[in-house]
Structure 1
Amino acid sequence: MADQLQPVQVEDGEFKGWFLSPFHDDYVNLIGPFYYLPDVDGKMQVALKVEQRHLNGGGIMHGGCLLSLADTALYVFAVETFKTSGGVTMQLDAHFLSPGNLGDVVIATGEITRAGQSTIFGRGQIKVGDRMVMTFSGVIKRASKSGA
């Protein structure tokens, strides 16, 4: 069982050296896979390759897909602060700056700016290379032991 919860390192292809998370839900499986890799400072990066299924009617990456990447990244940035419980996103603010295009690898980076007893605050950005696609900030509510 413990082996099933270990990250799996990608051995070849475009994401060689990146990791796939062992934790997936139906929604992540629908839009992913998301790839994870610590940067040189040890902060996690979260990546997604833009496929045809991620595009809107205008032929660019759907804003909802970018928001899903931001939400996932915010949670990944906060994971070490959770201790024994998880959390849920209370607020997610975003600024769309340029499009994600078919074939792009969009990468989210960011940080936790404050971790209180009941809420966690973070911010980040999504880029394609040096091009800024989106900036975001959000608040996560720590899950209580009772689940409320």
Structure 2
Amino acid sequence: MDIDWTEITSRNEKTFWGLLGLRMLSVDSSHVKLALTVNESHLNSMGIVHGGVLSSMMDQAMGTLVTANKNGQQAVTTNLNVTFLNAMRSGDLVVSAYPMHESQRSMTLRAEVHGEDGTLACIATATFLVPRDSKS
């Protein structure tokens, strides 16, 4: 099945994806790469990118990779583990997601966010479940 990523990203512009300001850079069954340009709304009161923004970036990238691997089916996050390593303040952030394990209805993945200078901001692992009533 060919997945229409243009249609999916266009539809996502009206969701949390669009609110965050995510952009799709690349997607295939082995790797997803998304980007976000930091603006003031992404910062917490300390002037650094809010951990929820970083976590959401990784969750979105891993969820997109599940869709790429499950013939367009969408999935829900059942577990998300995040480790924050370096504070980010500005510029472009890039999140990459990679598969770790896959079964018929679930996937476990890993993701990482880097700053434009290559600084590793955070890493995550997550497990996603394709609901029984999921439609392609």
2:18 corresponds to 1:29? yes
Seq. identity, %:
20
**Structure 1 partner of 2:6:** 7
For the 8 Å contact 1:96–1:134, the answer to whether it is kept is yes
Give CA deviations for 1:13-51 in whole Å, capped at 9, x if unaligned: xxxxxxx9223143222222x111238xx7321111110
Alignment deviations for residues 74-110 of structure 1 (CA, whole Å, 9 cap, x no partner): 11222222225311000111110011113x2110112
Contact 1:55–1:62 (CA under 8 A) maintained in structure 2: yes
In structure 2, runs of 5+ residues without a counterpart are: none
Conserved? CA contact 2:81–2:126, under 8 Å: yes
* Residue 110 (structure 1) aligned to one of 60, 85, 97: 97
Point out 4+ residue stretches in structure 1 off by more than 3 angstroms.
none
Tell me which amino acid in the other structure corresponds to 1:105. D
Higher relative contact order (CA 8 A, sep 6+): 2
Determine which structure has the larger helix proportion and give its number.
2
Whole-angstrom distance in 2 between the partners of 1:127 and 1:106: 6
Matched, 1:124 2:123: no
Counterpart of 1:17 in structure 2 is none
Q: Select the structure of larger CA radius of gyration.
A: 1
